[in-house]
Amino acid sequence: LSPRAAMEEEVLCAVNANTFEDSAVFARDRGLDHNAVVGVLNRLAAFEFVNLAPIQNNSWELTDEAQHYVTVGTPEAQVFNAIPEEGIAMADLQGKVDTGVAKIGFAQGMQQKWFRVDKTQGSRVYRKVESIVDTVREMLLELQRANGAFEALNKANTDLLKRRQLIRAVSLTSFKVSKGPKFAMTLKKEATDLTAEMIASDSWKEETFKGYNFNARGLQPPSGYLHPLLKVKAAFREIFLEMGFEEMPTNNYVESSFWNFDALFQPQAHPARDLHDTFFLSDPAAATQIPEDYMACVKEVHEVGGYGSIGYRCAWKEEEARKNIMRTHTTAVSARMLRKLAQNGFQPAKYFSIDRVFRNETLDATHLAEFHQIEGVACDRGICLRDLLGLMATFFEKMGMPKLRFKPAYNPYTEPSMEIFAWHSGLNKWIEVGNSGMFRPEMLRPMGLPEDVHVLGWGLSLERPTMILYEIKNMRALFGHRVDINMIRENPICRLEY
C-alpha cells in the first residue's frame, strides 16, 4: 500500500472501532503529520464515509530558542556551570560561552542570586550557591510533556515564559470523527463517466457514480480580451454620443493628398507634405475620383485667394493633389462630411471620429508611426469661439478634466487656433491634451457652405490619455508588436477619473 492508502486504512479502522475522538491525538499517537491526516479525512468526508465535527484546540508551542534550551539548558544554567569553584574573570567567562548566552545568563543568574561579582579583584565572578535547579528548563519540559496544554503551568510561570519569548500561543483545528451514511472499510472510487464499455458489458449496474455538482462553475472557456485602447475608445465614444454627436465613417485609411491637405487649405509647399512626415503610396500612386468643380474652387483659393484671403500666391499642381497617402489625420474625413453636408442642403450637425492615422515619425517612448486620433466637429449658423469653449468644457469635464486653459496656436486650416491644457492632479501640473480652432473660410466656402455657417473643431490622441489612465510610460508597450498579452488580459475597466 502507498503511505496515503495505509493512512486511509488506519483511519477507517479507528472510526470502525469508535475510538477516533480527536484527529490531533490520533496523529500524535501514531507519529503522523496532522495535515496529512486531515487531508485523508476530508477525502473520506467527500464520499460520505465519515462525519467530521471540528474541535478548536488552543495550546502553547515552544519557540526554537526554547527547544534549544531544553537540550542544552538555559543561559543562566550554562553560565553557572561555566564558573569554577575558585571563580573566573569576567573576560574569561565570556570566552567560555557565547556572547549572547553570557549576557542573558549573567543577568538572569544575578537576578536569582546564583553568583556574585568581586570588583576588588578586577570583576571576578564567583558562585554564590553550591548547586542550582534550572527551573525554566523544567517548566519547558513539563509543557512539552503536556503537549502544550494551557493548564500545564500556573499563570506566574506562563507569564515568565511569555516574557522571555520562549512560548507562543497556537490554535489548531482538529476533528472528532464518526461513521457517515456510506461508511465502509474499503473506499471504492466512484465513476465519473458512463462509458461505452460499461453499457456493452452491463458493468454500469454495479458501478457507483459520482453525483453531479450543478453549482460548480466549471472551466472558464477561452475568450478574447478588450485592449486598453478599445476600452478608452468606447468611453470617449459614449461621451460624444451623450453630447448628441454623430459618428463619421472612417474606414478609408488611404486618402488622396487633395482631401488630406488641399481641401483643408494646407499649402502644397507645407513641410507636413514631405516624405519625412507622410507615407506615400506607390501603387496606386494617384487618386482618380476627385470632384472636378470642387477641385477648381480649391485651386483658385490656393492660388489667388478669396473670401477675404489673398491665398498662397503660388502655382497649385493637380498631380500633387492626386497623390495617394496614408491619411495623416481624420480631419480629411471631416472635410468629406462637410462637403457632403453643403451639397445636400445645409443642416446644423455635430460629427465625431475615433480612428487610426499614420505619420512618418521617429519611433520613441511617446511617438509611433501609427496611432489614433479623436476628433469632434460642430457646424451651425452664427456660432463662434465662445461656443467652441463651451463644447470643450463639457467634453473634457465628462473626461474628468474640469480645469482647462487655452493657448493661442497656429493651424493652416483653423483661425483662431488654440492648444488645450488640462490640470493633472496626479502630476500636479498643466499638461497639453489637444488642439482646437474654427475652420477658415478658405476651407469652408469652396465646399459650398453658406457664409454665415461656422465650423468648430478639436482633436486629441487616444494613446496619451490611455497611457495616463493605465500608468503606461512607453507607448510601444501599449500599441504594436511589443505589447504584453498578459497586460491585455489583466487590465482593469476604464474609468475616466482625473
pLDDT tens for 101-154 read 888 888 888 888 998 888 877 788 888 888 889 999 999 999 988 888 888 889
With a threshold of 0.75, does the pTM exceed it? no
Name the grid cell of 357.
Answer: 492615422
CA 456 to chain centre: 39
**What is the per-residue pLDDT for 498?**
45
State the DSSP H helix or E strand holding residue 420, giving kind and residue range, or none if neither: strand 414-424
Beta bridge partners of 62: 167
Helix (H, G, I), strand (E, B) or coil at 433: strand
Give the Cα separation of 150 and 148 in Å (integer): 6
Q: How distant, in Å, are the alpha carbons of 84, 140, 161, 168, 371 from that of 164?
A: 27, 12, 5, 11, 66
What angle in degrees, to the nearest 10, is found between the helix axes of 23-30 and 3-16? 120
pLDDT greater than 90 at residue 298: yes
With CA atoms as reference, report the closest residue to 180 among 334, 41, 361, 379. Answer: 41
pLDDT greater than 50 at residue 364: yes
State the DSSP H helix or E strand holding residue 108, giving kind and residue range, or none if neither: helix 99-111
With CA atoms as reference, report the closest residue to 401 among 336, 469, 484. Answer: 469
Of the pLDDT bands very low, low, confident and very high (cuts 50, 70, 90), residue 454 is very high
Nearest 5°: CA angle at 325, between 324 and 331?
A: 110
**What is the per-residue pLDDT for 20?**
86
Return all residues near 146 (Cβ < 8 A) that are at least 6 apart: 152
Name the grid cell of 295.
Answer: 477641385
Give the Cα separation of 75 and 133 in Å (integer): 13
Q: What is the CA radius of gyration of the chain?
A: 43
Beta bridge partners of 124: 89, 118
pLDDT greater than 70 at residue 276: no
With CA atoms as reference, report the closest residue to 46 among 217, 219, 213. Answer: 213
With CA atoms as reference, report the closest residue to 293 among 327, 343, 331, 254. Answer: 343
Name the grid cell of 44.
Answer: 473520506
Beta bridge partners of 406: 420
**What is the per-residue pLDDT for 494?**
62
Helix (H, G, I), strand (E, B) or coil at 200: helix
Q: Report the chain's mean pLDDT, rounded to a whole number.
A: 87
Among the listed ranges 161-175, 207-221, 246-260, 317-331, which one has the minimum average pLDDT value? Answer: 207-221
Name the grid cell of 80.
Answer: 553557572
Neighbours of 36 (CB within 10 A): 13
**What is the per-residue pLDDT for 446?**
93
Whether the CB-CB separation of 68 and 137 falls below 8 Å is answered with no
DSSP class per residue in 256-280: EHHHHTGGGT--TT-GGGSTTTSPB
With CA atoms as reference, report the closest residue to 11 among 146, 180, 189, 220. Answer: 180
Nearest 5°: CA angle at 355, between 265 and 369?
A: 80
Beta bridge partners of 431: 422
Of the pLDDT bands very low, low, confident and very high (cuts 50, 70, 90), residue 85 is confident
pLDDT greater than 60 at residue 369: yes
Q: Which residue has the cell 474652387?
A: 297
Give the Cα separation of 95 and 110 in Å (integer): 19
Neighbours of 489 (CB within 10 A): 11
Among the listed ranges 6-10, 271-275, 335-339, which one has the minimum average pLDDT value? Answer: 271-275
Three-state SS for 356-406 is: EEECCCCCECCECCEEEEEEEEEEEECCCHHHHHHHHHHHHHHCCCCCEEE
Neighbours of 190 (CB within 10 A): 12
Of the pLDDT bands very low, low, confident and very high (cuts 50, 70, 90), residue 275 is low
pLDDT greater than 70 at residue 360: yes
pLDDT greater than 90 at residue 271: no
Where does residue 111 fall: left (phi above 0), alpha (psi -120 to 50 degrees), or beta otherwise? alpha
Of the pLDDT bands very low, low, confident and very high (cuts 50, 70, 90), residue 442 is very high
Name the grid cell of 275.
Answer: 516624405
Give the Cα separation of 406 and 19 in Å (integer): 84
Helix (H, G, I), strand (E, B) or coil at 87: coil
Beta bridge partners of 51: 178
CA 305 to chain centre: 56
Q: Are strands 414-424 and 429-439 parallel, antiparallel or unpaired?
A: antiparallel
Of the pLDDT bands very low, low, confident and very high (cuts 50, 70, 90), residue 333 is very high
Of the pLDDT bands very low, low, confident and very high (cuts 50, 70, 90), residue 398 is confident
221 vs 346 pLDDT, higher one: 346
Return all residues near 216 (Cβ < 8 A) that are at least 6 apart: none
